[in-house]
Amino acid sequence: MKNKIKELVILGFSPGSVCNITEAAYELFGCTSFKIIKNIDVQEKDVPYLHQSLTCTIYDLDSIQENPVNINLQHVHFGVNHSHIRPIIFNEFNKKLGIDRENYVSLIHPTSHISMSSDYKEGFFAEPNSVVSSFSELGFGVNIKRGSSVGHHCKLGDYVTLNPGAILSGFVNVGEGTEIGTGVSVLHEISIGKNCMIGAGSVVTRDIPDGVVAYGNPCKVIRKNERWEKTKSLLKQI
């Protein structure tokens, strides 16, 4: 076990994300106590998002601003999965609580493999049985989910998500904010643009431009990625 972290602060709330994050933090750091700060009204009651041996306290971001409480923000992590939500979380908490990139902890599950020649930024989450191969570069807030694989000499921009079982071959570039669906295969030397969504099970055989939803075998552009249009609008309001 690496250096212990007694308490981890989780920013934003998604039941599916929080359970994975808390258990990974326990396995890595022996962390059993968590503080969740949610920025939107989420109905968390009756949702089994935390193992019974772990404890947490939930706060509302606006309430904390109005009545500051003693929370150590030295170690934080995203509490949401999707690529179009994490930049909203980062920008809002940065502006309202002064939380910067260096405060974000990376979580690398013991069953994952990260090549010694690869590089990743803060806020990285490598879930069980995931792989990052040689000389790959991963940006801030990247999430590679269980059983996914990043090939050699790949470049993943900030906030990129690889869903379970996604496979990137060698020399693949994935732009900032793009989400790769479950079971997607991306062939050698392919570039996928920023703010894209690649649908589950797709086989990407040619380059994909910025800001689109694309899927199929072979993968084809279907429409603009409206999720990111909403994200850009929300970012302007923060």
* Residue of 51, 82, 152, 188 marked catalytic: 152
Do 38 and 15 form a contact (C-beta atoms < 8 A)? no
The answer to whether residue 152 is catalytic is yes
Residues with catalytic annotation? 152
